[in-house]
Amino acid sequence: MSTSEKSGYHHGDLRAALLTAAMGMLEAGEPFSLRAVAREAGVSTAAPYRHFADRDALESALAAQGLRDLRADLTEGRDPPASPDDLGDLAVAYVAFALRRPALFRLMFGNACDEGSEERVKAAAEIHDLLRLAMARVFPAGDAEGLAAAGWALAHGLAFLHLDGKLPARSDEEVAAHVRAALAAILSVRSVDDAYIAP
């Protein structure tokens, strides 16, 4: 056992050290395997298997961490949404996260959620609950579940359109303006429909 591995065990942080190493490699665009992550973390090549059965399990753990980081970006320093403008803030924060951490964002949403990863399922559910509760607060008479799905789809689609260069923008401010305009357009249509069907 190497000195650094002993140090990792001493602090009880081997899993965290492996995830930190893998996250760094992912976001730097470096291909990684469990063996490469072990080297980066300074531990034996067998050490990762104590926490991750294979690369898929490691990727699920990274995705779960990404979802927790995204939730933090959506909630920290802001009150719960109380208006459509506040929902715009959430959508902007969502797209900004994707553009700031593109490799992680693609990993988080590039494949189906691994139902065998309890932490990934929980982290995904927390994002969903956050959006559902936000819609329920702003539109108490609406279908919160449907609105959450629609709002997520819009923000998510805009994130990938910007990531893939289909909606180019010269600045973060221009991206934010695109996102706010798209959400406002959808919400204004909803308001017209609500008025039309109101008794």
Q: pLDDT tens across 132-145, in order?
A: 999 999 999 999 99
φ/ψ (deg, to 5) at 83: -155, 165
Q: What is the pLDDT of residue 190?
A: 52
Q: pLDDT tens across 139-166, in order?
A: 999 999 999 999 999 999 999 999 999 9
Contact indicator for 123, 64 with CB cutoff of 8 Å: yes
Query: How far is it, in rounded angstroms, from Cα 3 to Cα 21?
Result: 17
Q: pLDDT tens across 22-78, in order?
A: 999 999 999 889 999 999 999 999 999 999 999 999 999 999 999 999 999 999 999
Q: Scan for tokens 């700031």, then name that residue.
A: 100
DSSP character at residue 115: T
Query: How far is it, in rounded angstroms, from Cα 120 to Cα 63?
Result: 7
33-41 own/partner pairs: CB under 8 Å, 24+ apart: 34/58, 41/4, 41/8, 41/14, 41/17
